[in-house]
Amino acid sequence: MKNRRWPRLIASVAVVLLALNLTLGGHAWSADGVARSVMPERIAGATTRADHEALADAYEQEAKALDAKAAEHEALAKAYAELGYLRDKPGLIAHCASLVDRYRAAAQETRELARAHQELAARAAQK
């Protein structure tokens, strides 16, 4: 019986590693290899179309990273559910499910910020 668990465990670990790889690859990077982020200084100084488009892009990249985190925790919840000896620990699955909901909500809110900056970019282009 123990030998039957190994293929599932290996598949579950592979899914988690794939999700982790997508998460780490989902961050925005500038041309010089320095991580870009949405900093208060960038927001305060945004006046041009290009400024707002850059912020919208950074928010979109952040939303993708949050989606990847949600997918990672979804895979973790599935892995926990499939491991028979962890079925008596429902808190692990609930924890992951809660994080999935939070990451998805954060991604949605982040996309709304990106849309707001896209609108600001359009307005700046009209001036």
Instruction: Please report the pLDDT score of residue 36 as a whole number.
Output: 55
pTM: 0.68
Instruction: Please report the pLDDT score of residue 27 as a whole number.
Output: 43
Instruction: Please report the pLDDT score of residue 31 as a whole number.
Output: 44
Instruction: Please report the pLDDT score of residue 4 as a whole number.
Output: 57
**Domain residue limits, the chain:** 2-126
Instruction: Please report the pLDDT score of residue 29 as a whole number.
Output: 41
* Grouped pLDDT means (10 residues each) for the chain, 127 residues: 47 42 43 55 89 93 96 92 74 92 96 94 86
Instruction: Please report the pLDDT score of residue 120 as a whole number.
Output: 92
Q: What is the 3-state secondary structure (H, E, C) of the chain?
A: CHHHHHHHHHHHHHHHHHHHHHHHHCCCECCCCCECCCCHHHHHCCCCHHHHHHHHHHHHHHHHHHHHHHHHHHHHHHHHHHCHHHCCCHHHHHHHHHHHHHHHHHHHHHHHHHHHHHHHHHHHHHC
